[in-house]
Amino acid sequence: MENLAGLLADARRVVAFTGAGISTESGIPDFRSPGGLWTRYNPAEFTFGRYIESAEVRARSWQMRREMMSEAYAPNAGHVALARLERAGRAIGVVTQNIDGLHQDAGSERVVEIHGTAREVMCIGHAPRFGTPIGCGFRAPLQWALSRVDEGDPDPACPQCGGLVKSATVSFEQVLFPDVIEDAVRIAGEADLLIAVGSSLVVYPAADLPAMAVRNGARLAIVNDEPTPLDDLADLVVRGSAGVVLSSAVGAVLG
């Protein structure tokens, strides 16, 4: 942690790249861990293509989303530490693989959600193909869809064009949002220090962002409980809790 504090003290354009590990410390189960979502649902049934083809899959998807949002989770010390860095002018933002919105709840303002957000829904059009949404632009809070389900509509349609409505997250077989990926590449390219937190760094293309930052001259620190494929590339690897490590290191720099 002292070494991480040293890297932070030397940096002026910190970017955090975060994965599920930072959110599990807020009590959110990892999708594949005991009690996680994919222990109760078969992920193969919830691909983008199956969602488009089957009204039954869409109805089950809203049930799944209700389960996901049934508990109120709060940001933990790791989220708060990263928001402190940004407020202090030492960090330029967060790129996250998570869909829970906890970075924003902690106060981070520049957050790039490469897998979308579970807090909103979006129109994906009448018949999107090749894993690419072609919606009219309609977006609304998740509760908009859940309220319509409660009112007896198991498959809410877009109120603007009548197209299919889906959670604003990236499903299996769905193409990543191009503008979001552009933002992620841009912010990672601006970093002089990238801190990868709570990510296994095995899900691509997202996991290539830390390596890209290094190629652009940034230093790389990895905070994770388990080894990652990029450990040998990193300037520093810290094993431990994201909340403990980040709050201690940021506190040492900012006081």
Annotated catalytic residues are 115
CA distances to 24, 114, 134, 177 from 182, in Å: 27, 10, 18, 9
Please give the Cα distance from 146 to 89 (Å, whole number).
39
**CB contact set of 69 (below 8 Å; sequence gap of 6+):** 118, 119, 142
| Tally of residues, the chain | 255
Q: Is 47 exposed, middle or buried (0-12, 13-18, 19+ CB in 10 A)?
A: middle
User: Do you find a cis peptide bond into 205, omega within 30 degrees of 0?
Assistant: yes
